[in-house]
Structure 1
Amino acid sequence: MIKRELIRFMKGAGKYIVAGVWWQWAALLCQIVVVFVLAIIIQGTWQGNIRTEQILWMIAVAVAFMIAKAVCDRLSAGVSYQASEEVKLRLRGKIFEKILALGTSYRDKTSTAELLQLSVEGVEQLEIYYGRYLPQLFYSLLAPLTLFVVLSQVSLKSAAILLVCVPLIPISIVLVQKIAKKLLKKYWGVYTQLGDSFLENLQGLTTLKIYKSDGYASDKMDREAENFRKITMRVLVMQLNSISVMDIVAYAGAGAGIICALLQFSAGNLQLAEMIIIVLLAAEFFIPLRLLGSFFHIAMNGMAASDKIFAFLKTDTEKNCGTQNIEGSVDITIRNLGFAYDKDRKILDGVSMDIHSGQFVSLVGLSGSGKSTIAALIAGKFSGYEGDIKISGKDLNDISEVSLMDSIVTVGYNSFIFGGSVRENLTMAKKDASESEMISVLQKVKLWDFLQKENGLDTKITEQGSNLSGGQRQRLALARALLKDAEMYIFDEASSNIDVESEKVIMDMIKNLAKSKTVLSISHRMANAVDSDVIYVIENGKIIEKGNHLSLLKDKGRYAEIYTKQEKMCAKWENSDEKKQY
């Protein structure tokens, strides 16, 4: 019932639990005083030996303690809220720090949908565990003992019966816990799977519509949703059954204590006030534990979520533990590089290449040859590679991710554009960028003329830049990269799947940038590599050719073969009727 790992994680915040228990206990003491006062008033009135002014005075005392109890309850709720805020801030902060530590490779460890679910709903469940369940757990132990000490002075027999019945509730909770732990673990597995499917289908909705597969995806999600409904109903049935058991135990225990008090009263062993005190306080033996039971199921759900949260927080981040910085210009040395996404599919095999500072290097090859994997490895997106990658003489694993990202910027074919404004997208690269700097990079990528007709730098951008054309999105991504002013740029198919005009603008910009920066251009189109200082040809994960454009054509190898074929296809397209219609 107590997750030690979470307690250790929240070390230092235990003051909230202590304060919560204290205020609940203080509220209980106030309630005891009120009950004693009311019992005395009732007995005195019944016996006729109490004056009116005494009744009024005792009513005033009872009201004062009722107000004090309300204040204690309010303070207890406030402390619970503070504890909840503490656990939410710490956990979400740690999750975010771990994502940053893993960098762009976090998706190798877990899915984005699962992280969202854990960060939002999982943490919310743990908030109740820490803010409500733990204080209630300790108070549930303290309250019956306090009441026993008080009521034993009134009737030891009745107090003993009530105290003996109290442990039956935690025993029932422990029995339920064994069933609940396995069930809730399965519940979270089904829940995160449904979240993954939903996010994937939402992101790929357009593609599903194009291929008329939305019906199939919908049916699949319906099956997963039905599976989630069934597991949810099993959890609810388990919770309702356990609550029924706790209610039976609580009512039976309180009833046994009350019956004992009534029998003692009828036998003349208890006075009316003493009997009333036991009747009014008997339920208080069980209410704290009964309330604990209601929190218990939410807490168990939170503990199931915490297993996944702490598993993620323990994810190995050794690839990002480097502390060295890249200083000055960037050059890269790669030797015998090997990489596989899984054991049965090796992507790179013994790749060696050099990218010297200030060079324009192109890595070309057909789709699936391993080009983008090399770019991702240089940018630190993947770990677990074989061989060596050295940047400016330092091993990639020894370089801090912050320094790596400051020195090397990657512009891919699917660079992400955020909803907001053009200004907000650009200032991500340089927070203190002036308007003139932003306008300058937009002019370089020939996007400023279009934006001037809109709202300039404050032109609104919808989610993922959906209100821009593919070419405009890519040019905005390029402008953002230029504003970063890094030492090295990697362009991974940056001119793919866009209009001809945008492709020309981007390639001209890349060639111009190569005059002052280190540039690695990755493309399946050989024509994009013509002006490179060095061209590496990769095929089936291996570098098969190296040289400049003219030397590779002269060698009449694989590069010349693909280049010639692609040029013929382009010429055919230029002269085709389809091109003219287009």
Structure 2
Amino acid sequence: MIKMRLIKLLKGSGKYIIYQIAWQWLSLLAQIAIVWQVTQLIDEAWQKSITSSGVLMTIGIVSAGLIVRFICDRLYSRSCYLASVDVKRVLREQIYRKVLWLGPSYREQIRTSEIVQMTGEGVEQLETYFGRYLSQFLYALLAPFSLFIIISRISLRTAVVLLAAVPLIPIVIMLVMFIARKILGNYFDIYYGLGDSFLEKLQGMTTLKIYRADRRAVEQIDSESEQFRKITMKVLMMQLNSTSIMDIIAYGGAAAGIISALTEFSDRNINVSGVLMCIFLAAEFFLPMRLLGSFFHIGMNGMKASDRIFAFLNLPEQKRGEEEIAGNKIDISLDNVSFSYDESREVLHDISMNIDSCSLVSIVGVSGSGKSTIAGILLGKNHYYSGSIKVNGTEHKELSSKSLMENFTMIGHNSWVFKGTVRENLLMGNPTATDAELLDALDNVNLKNFLESQSGLDTRVESNASNFSGGQKQRLALARALLHDTPVYIFDEATSNIDADSEEAIMTAVKQIAKKKTVILISHRLANVTDSDAIYMLKDGKIIEKGTHHELMGIKGTYANLFSEQSELENYSRGREEA
């Protein structure tokens, strides 16, 4: 029930666990002193030799003992807090750091909802493990032996009877642990699965409503919730049964010790004070181990939660180098790059392209042609590729994840905007930016005037900018990206599903960025790529055409045909709107 990896996480907390044991032990010694003095007074009363000085001494020792116990209890609680104060911070930092190391590809190995639950409930389970369970585990071994030494001086037989019954409780704990391991494993599987299912249904609520599939989704959630209720009841039943068994052993052991003491008293082997000492301290033999049994269930939950956390922390990370990207101007070259998500389907095949610094390079093609996969590779998300990718002459795989994050900025059609204010969202791009710089970024995406009609930079933003239009949200995300100020920008369908005014504002900003930065534009709408320095046309994961817009139109191939079709469709739609 003790994991060394957990202990090593909090090296500084070891002393507080020792303090907890010390304060509990001192409190026990104070309790023994109180019992000894009270039984001495009762014995004197039995012998009819009680004196006022004896009564005063008893009152003094009892009062002192109670004060010591009070102080020890307060210090014990303080040590419990200090032992666990860092557990949540340390574990959550490690989980967060692991997500950063895994990079954008973390979702290929673990569900987002599981990380959320892990950092929440999973870490909370371990707080009690460090704050209470570990010290109680060690104290439950120390206390019975301390009491055995005291009781054995009164009645060795009674001390042996009491001590012999104590190990029965950890035996029960071990049996319960053996049974509980599988139940708790299933419990956390169902718990994380329910969280993932709920999050998915919540995020897809609009889609469920459109297709009238919400009732079926509710029924599925109800079914999974019922399954979780049943496994929870199994866990609670297991805990209740084990608690009942431990109570029977504790009270039965104490009763056996009391009977032994009474027998010794009946045989005149011990006096009144001795038998009362045995009776009053019999329960103290079992209370520490009994309390350990209570913490045991929390400890089991914590250790199962830690299994999940450590399994996540042990996930293989990208084997990247430690090289840094040199310079503020970045050239990128891809040479015979191929990529497959699995062996059955090759997504990219022998992709070769050159992306010069301070240029606008567009990657176009129908859905599923591999455009976004190239963006994922450049960002370090899709790292199991073949071929060569060089950034300023350095092989892409030799670059550190940190360097990629510092030099590449991705703006997609679903960029997340966080709940808070406009200022708080923009400062994510550049925490040191002034209000003037924030307003300048908003002006560049044609959003400044709108926000000034609201509350300016203090305009409230709901989760994922649900109180903004799609175009306004996208322009806010672009302003944040501009403040990040990296040498490379990748726009992956950044103008998808937004209004014409927002699309025009975003494309104007993109062209301005391309004068100073390396810009890769991924778009299905060819009207947005006509000013590109180079255009790569993809089909089925292969480059079938490349050149400028003028050159590709002259070829009269796939690009020209698709451009003409889109132009005719847009002219037709515009004519219907005017009519």
TM class, shorter-length: over 0.9
User: C-alpha displacement at 1:406, in angstroms?
Assistant: 2.1
CA drift of 1:323 comes to 4.2
Q: How does 1:60-139 map to 2 (within 5 A)?
A: 60-139=60-139
1:199 correspondence with 2:165: no
Contact 2:13 2:82 in 1 (8 A): no
Match of 1:213 in 2: 213
**1:437-448 equivalence runs, <5 A:** 437-448=437-448
Structure-1 separation of matches of 2:242 and 2:342: 45
2:529 aligns to what?
Answer: 529
Shift of 1:340: 2.6
Q: Alpha carbons of 1:215 and 1:345: their partners in 2 closer, same or farther (altered >3 Å)? A: farther
3-state SS in 2 of match to 1:318: coil
Asked if residue 47 in structure 1 is aligned to residue 8 in structure 2, the reply is no
Change (3 A) 1:320 1:467: farther
Aligned to 2:86, the other structure's residue is in SS state helix
CA distance in 2 between counterparts of 1:41 and 1:214 reads 75
Displacement of 1:12 after TM fit?
4.2
The equivalences for 1:180-579 within 5 A come to 180-319=180-319, 322-576=322-576, 579=577
Matched residue type, 2:499: D
Task: Please report how far the alpha carbon of residue 261 of structure 1 lies from its aligned counterpart in structure 2 after TM superposition.
Answer: 0.6
SS of corresponding position for 2:368: coil
Q: Residues of 1 paired with 2:405 and 2:71: CA distance?
A: 53
Asked whether the 8 Å contact 1:362–1:529 carries over to 2, the reply is: yes
Q: Indicate the residue corresponding to 2:148 in structure 1.
A: 148
What letter is aligned with 2:347?
A: I
Quickly say closer, same or farther: Cα 1:350–1:418, change in 2 above 3 A: same
Q: CA deviation at 1:405?
A: 2.0
- 5 Å-filtered alignment, 1:137-176, equals 137-176=137-176
Aligned 8 A contact 1:16 1:80 in 2: yes
> 1: CA distance between counterparts of 2:476 and 2:182?
49
Q: Which runs of 5+ in 1 are unaligned?
A: none
Q: State the 1:469 CA deviation.
A: 0.4
Q: Which moved more, 1:381-390 or 1:279-288?
A: 381-390
Structure-2 separation of matches of 1:435 and 1:93: 30
Q: Secondary structure at the match of 2:329?
A: coil
**Hey, what does 2:29 align to over in structure 1?**
29
Contact 1:101–1:320 (Cα < 8 Å) also in 2: no
Out of 145-154 and 423-432, give the one that drifted further. 423-432
| CA shift for structure 1 position 326 | 3.6
Q: Secondary structure at the match of 2:353?
A: strand
SS at match of 1:121: helix
Query: TM-score, with normalisation over the residues of structure 1?
Result: 0.97
> What's the secondary structure of 1:240's corresponding residue?
helix
CA deviation vs aligned residue, 1:261-308 (integer Å, no higher than 9, x gap): 111112222111111110010011111111111111111111111111
Instruction: After superposing the two structures, state which structure 1 stretch, 63-72 or 509-518, moved more.
Output: 509-518
Q: What CA deviation, in whole Å up to 9, does each residue of 1:306-362 have, x standing for no partner?
A: 111001111222345534234221111112222233333332222221101111100
C-alpha distance in 1, partners of 2:299/2:344? 42
Offset from partner CA, 1:507-558 (integer Å, 9 cap, x none): 1221222122211100011111111110001111111111111111111221
Call closer, same or farther: CA 1:483–1:222 in 2, change over 3 Å.
Answer: same
Aligned residues of 1:334 and 1:389 also touching (Cα < 8 A):
yes
Of the structure 1 ranges 399-408 and 558-567, higher mean CA displacement relative to structure 2 is found in: 399-408
Distance 1:426 1:164 in 2: 67
Cα deviation digits, residues 413-436 of structure 1 (max 9, x gap): 111111111111111111121222
Residue type of the alignment partner of 1:66: L
Q: Distance in 2 between matches of 1:77 and 1:346?
A: 60
Distance 1:117 1:531 in 2: 47
Letter in 1 for 2:152: S
Q: What is the deviation of 1:86?
A: 2.3
Matched residues in 2 for 1:229 and 1:201: separation?
Answer: 19
Matched AA of 2:428: M
Once the two structures are overlaid, the 10-residue window that deviates more, 13-22 or 297-306, is 13-22
**SS of the residue 1:561 aligns to:** helix
| Alpha-carbon separation, structure 2, partners of 1:87 and 1:448 | 44
Give the distance between the partners of 1:29 and 1:458, measured in 2 at CA: 61
Change (3 A) 1:418 1:320: farther
Tell me, yes or no, if the aligned pair for 2:265 and 2:272 is still in contact at 8 Å: yes
Shift of 1:104: 2.4
Q: Distance in 2 between matches of 1:320 and 1:250?
A: 57
The amino acid across from 2:204 in the alignment is G
Q: Does the 8 Å CA contact 2:369/2:540 hold for their aligned counterparts?
A: yes
Q: Distance in 2 between matches of 1:378 and 1:284?
A: 66
1:212 shift after superposition: 1.4
CA distance in 1, matches of 2:397, 2:238: 49
Amino acid across the alignment from 1:277: M
- Matches of 1:71 and 1:278, distance apart in 2: 26
Question: What SS does the aligned partner of 1:415 have?
Answer: coil
CA contact (8 A) 1:319 1:383 kept: no
- Deviation track 1:473-519 (CA, whole Å, cap 9, x = no partner) reads 11111111112222111111111100011111111221222122211
Could you say which residue in structure 2 is the equivalent of 1:2? 2
Percent of aligned pairs sharing the same letter: 50
Alpha-carbon distance between aligned partners in 1 of 2:323 and 2:355, rounded to the nearest angstrom: 23
How many residues are treated as equivalent by the alignment? 579
Q: For 1:76 and 1:423, how far apart are their aligned partners in 2?
A: 45
Q: CA deviation at 1:149?
A: 0.5
RMSD of aligned C-alpha atoms? Answer: 1.4
Amino acid at match of 2:484: K
| AA matched with 1:115 | I
Aligned-pair distance for 1:84?
A: 1.3
Write the distance in 2 (CA, Å) between the matches of 1:558 and 1:244: 77
The residue matched to 1:357 in structure 2 has which SS?
coil
| Cα distance in 2 between the residues matched to 1:265 and 1:474 | 87
Contact 1:102–1:320 (8 Å) recurs in 2: no
Once the two structures are overlaid, the 10-residue window that deviates more, 196-205 or 5-14, is 5-14
d(CA) in 2 for partners of 1:311, 1:321: 24
Name the CA distance, whole Å, in 1 between partners of 2:376 and 2:540.
17
Answer yes or no: is the 8 Å Cα contact 2:413–2:493 preserved in 1: yes
CA contact (8 A) 1:321 1:398 kept: yes
CA distance in 1, matches of 2:321, 2:300: 34
CA distance, structure 2, for counterparts of residue 33 and residue 104 of structure 1: 63
Q: Deviations over 1:181-214 (max 9, x none)?
A: 1111111011000000111111221221222111
Deviation (angstroms), 1:367: 1.0
**Deviations 1:13-36, CA, capped at 9 Å, x for gaps:** 321221111111111111111110
Q: 1:568 to 1:213 in 2, by over 3 A?
A: same
SS of 1:490's partner is strand
Q: Distance in 2 between the 1:429 and 1:530 partners?
A: 29
Which string of whole-angstrom CA distances, capped at 9 and with x for unpartnered residues, describes residues 373-402 of structure 1?
111211122322222222111122222223
Q: Matched residues in 2 for 1:323 and 1:135: separation?
A: 46
- CA distance, structure 2, for counterparts of residue 525 and residue 211 of structure 1: 28
DSSP 3-state at the match of 1:334: strand
Do 2:132 and 2:295's aligned partners in 1 also have CA atoms closer than 8 Å? yes
Secondary structure of 2:333's aligned partner: strand
